[in-house]
Amino acid sequence: MKTDVEELTPTRVKLTVEVPFDELKPNLDKAYKEISQQVRIKGFRPGKVPAPLIDKYVGRGAVLQEAVNDALPELYGRAVEESEIFVLGQPDVEVTELDDGTQFAFTAEVDIRPKFEVPEYDGLEVVVDDAEVTDEQVEETIGNLRERFASLTNAERAAEEGDFASIDLVARIDGEEIEDASTTGYSYEVGSGSAVEGLDEALVGLAAGEDKTFTGALVGGEHAGEDAEITVTVQSVKIKNLPDLDDEFAQLASEFDTIDELRDDVRTRLGRQVKLQQLSEARDKALEALLEKVDIPLPEKVVEEEIGRRNQQLEQQLQMAGMTKEDYLKDEEKSAEEFDTEVADAARLAVKGGFVLDQLAVQEELGVENEELSEYVVTQAMQMGVQPQQLAEYLTQNNQLPAIVSEVLRSKALNLVVEHVTVKDESGNEIDVEAVQRELNGDTGETVQAETAETAESTDDAAETAEDAAEAGETPAETAEAAAEEAPAAEAKDEKDAKDKDA
């Protein structure tokens, strides 16, 4: 087999492959056998029809087509391997010659990862936020915990901001009641601003049994965005009572005996959280600093696929949160054009980051051990709330392991960059990233290790399969770990919770 490579652009090549016809013999034999099972010719059982009769009744051309379709994937794979290129996505294949008994030739145009070397990254310096826990943050956290243990008591007065009112809502447009915008017995915190605009103003000053009608734009349902006359009727008014911040509250809300012990624990937990955020920021900024030193072309098709993936992810998140894209853009105060530009920029950064980390893994000859793959599966399973073995089986059955190997490799490559980068906080203090990681892992290391051991047996074989696939060039070019993805789901979920029973 002979393969020529023509560079169409720095990110796309055309392979011209010539194959001696003899190499198609196994595929021709297979084609005759399969067609023989399908045709019905008098005097011959299925599978026993000789080749000359198949040529006569079915046609030699059909057999050749079947053989070529069967041979192409393996021949294309060999051509890619011999050319030592890193292909991205599916090729555009065209059969250019099929001379029966002599030669077979085809071309394949495909996107490739651009060829480049990752520059030296020693000496890079990044600045991250201070890992500081303030008294205000501690008190805010305890205050949120206090809110969870609040109680409600009936108030013999009109509603005020901060009260909880049980209300009925009836919305009408042109005198006709809108059923999906009306509700009864809805518990609403006055002044929260989490429902239809104008509701808070209408409720303040209303006592149980009183009502008020106002005009507001509906935020959900068939008539979303339309103005309606909304009548709110107060059934009851309740006052929120917060528990005192004392030792009794600490015993009620935690495993601690005193409020001082609870505060100390909150401070410790917040300290761990800000250090985790600091490490995450260090990784993101280390990659950003490295990417600034690299200038490479990007395959437009790969970028477009990444843009499509991100838009699809957003649509799914918004759908789960009960929001439209228009609602999201309004909340973010962005135009559709601004949003599209941001998504495109983030997609390009993600694709570029993936290429750089992939190339760095090659340059540094990084690999993935079975234990590392098992640990990754365990971590993901814990985050998803499923059993590690169940996730490992799913990944194996759905051929997702090559992508997992790619992700682990990229993470290792990024870890290597971080090790060579000087990380300082905004106060100018140099941060020992490895020491911080050891400190944080000290709390959970034993648990993770034990769970990894339980999962290792079910993932070892899968790891070997994945490594083979990755070496064969099947690793997809997906989003780099540290290329920041927009995550509107949490914000959308908060909005949805606030609007569940809007008029």
| pLDDT tens, position by position, 152-181 | 999 999 999 999 999 999 999 999 998 888
Taking residues 242-248, report their average pLDDT.
Answer: 94
Residue 40 has φ and ψ, to the nearest 5°, of -125, 110
pLDDT for 252: 93
The whole-number pLDDT of residue 323 equals: 81
Tell the burial category of 194 from Cβ atoms under 10 Å away from its Cβ (0-12, 13-18, 19+): middle
User: CB-based contacts of 100: which residues, under 8 Å, 6+ apart?
Assistant: 21, 60, 64
Which DSSP string corresponds to 192-226? ---SSTTHHHHHTTPPTT-EEEEEEE--SSTTTT-
Q: Read off the amino acid at residue 393.
A: E
Look at residues 232, 152, 164, 221 and name the one whose alpha carbon lies nearest to residue 192: 164
**What is d(CA 408, CA 470) in angstroms, rounded to the nearest whole number?**
12
Report pLDDT digits (tens) over 5-43.
Answer: 999 999 999 999 999 998 998 998 898 888 888 778 777
pLDDT in tens, 37-68: 877 877 787 777 788 888 787 888 888 988 99
Helix 259-291 vs helix 336-363: crossing angle, to nearest 10: 80
- Quote the CA–CA distance of 258 and 235 in Å, as a whole number: 40
Question: How far apart are alpha carbons 267 and 139 in whole angstroms?
Answer: 9
Element (H, E) at 104: strand 103-112
Whether pTM > 0.85 for this model: the answer is: no
Is it the case that residue 495 has pLDDT exceeding 70? no
Helix (H) or strand (E) holding 17: strand 12-20
For the segment 117-138, the average pLDDT, to the nearest whole number, is: 93
Say if residue 398 is exposed, middle or buried (CB neighbours under 10 Å; 0-12, 13-18, 19+): exposed
Range among 356-365, 370-379, 390-399 with highest mean pLDDT value: 356-365
| Residue of higher predicted confidence among 233 and 55 | 233
Average pLDDT over residues 234-242: 94
How many of the other CB atoms lie within 10 Å of CB of 144? 9
Query: Of residues 138 and 324, which shows the higher confidence score?
Result: 138
pLDDT digits (tens, 9 = 90+) for 450-481: 333 333 344 344 444 344 433 333 333 333 33
Instruction: List phi, psi (to 5°) of 473.
Output: 90, 20
Closest CA to 417 of 431, 433, 430: 433
Question: Is residue 125 predicted with pLDDT exceeding 60?
Answer: yes
- Residue linked to tokens 């992700």: 407
Strands 151-154 and 227-241: antiparallel
Gap between the Cα atoms of 221 and 180, Å rounded: 6
Written as six digits, the tokens of 329 are: 């853009």
Structure tokens at 173: 């447009």
Q: How confident is the model at residue 345 (pLDDT cuts 50, 70, 90)?
A: very high
Q: Characterize 302-335 residue by residue with b for buried, 16 or more Cβ atoms within 10 angstroms of its Cβ, and e for exposed.
A: bbebbbeebeeebeebbeebebeeebbeeeeeee
Tell me the two tokens of residue 31: 């084609």
